[in-house]
Amino acid sequence: MAEKRTHRLQSTKQFVRNFLRINNSREFLIFLFFLFISFVFWYLMTMTGEYEMKYSPKVRLKNLPKEMIVIEPLPERIDVTLRDKGDKLVEYRARGRFKELVVDFAQYPNVMGRTAIHGKELEKLVAANLSSSTHIVALSLDTLQYYVASAKGVKVPVKVSGRMEANHQYRINRVSVYPDSVMVYAPQAYLDSLSAVYTPRVDYVDLTDSVSEVLTLDARQRGIRYEPSEVVVGVAVSPYVTKTLEVPVTAYLFPYGMSLKTFPSKAKVAFRVSLEDYGLITEKDFALQVHYTQIQNNLSGKVELHPTVLSDKVYDVKVEPSEVDYLLELDVLPAISGE
Cβ–Cβ under 8 Å, residues 61 and 73: yes
| Alpha carbons 331 and 81: distance in angstroms, whole number | 108
Q: What CATH number should be reported for the domain whose range is 50-149?
A: 2.170.120.30
Half-sphere exposure of 53 (CA within 13 A, CB side): 19
pLDDT at 125 over 50: yes
One-letter amino acid at 255 equals P
Judging by DSSP bridges, how do beta strands 80-85 and 50-55 pair with one another? antiparallel
- Report angle CA 34, 39, 42 to the nearest 5 degrees: 125
Domain boundaries, the chain: 50-149, 154-239, 240-330
Domains 154-239 and 240-330 share a fold: yes
Q: Mean pLDDT over residues 267-278, rounded?
A: 92
pLDDT at 289 over 60: yes
pLDDT tens digits along 8-63: 666 666 655 665 555 555 666 666 666 666 665 565 556 567 888 899 999 999 99
Please state which of the four CATH numbers 3.40.50.300, 3.40.50.970, 1.20.20.10, 2.170.120.30 is assigned to the domain occupying 240-330.
Answer: 2.170.120.30
pLDDT tens digits along 211-234: 999 999 987 788 899 999 999 999
Mean of per-residue pLDDT scores for the chain: 86
Of 331 and 253, the one with more pLDDT:
253
| Alpha carbons 212 and 232: distance in angstroms, whole number | 7
Q: Which pLDDT belongs to residue 137?
A: 92
Q: Which pLDDT belongs to residue 339?
A: 45
CA 18 to chain centre: 78
pLDDT at 148 over 70: yes
The CATH homologous superfamily to which domain 154-239 belongs is: YbbR-like domain (2.170.120.40)
Mapping DSSP to helix (H, G, I), strand (E, B) and coil, where does residue 15 land? Answer: helix
pLDDT tens digits along 165-200: 999 889 888 999 999 999 999 988 888 889 999 999
Express the helix, strand and coil content of the chain in percent, nearest 5 each.
Answer: 25, 45, 30
pTM of the model: 0.65
β partners of residue 174:
236
Q: Which pLDDT belongs to residue 25?
A: 59
Q: How confident is the model at residue 315 (pLDDT cuts 50, 70, 90)?
A: confident
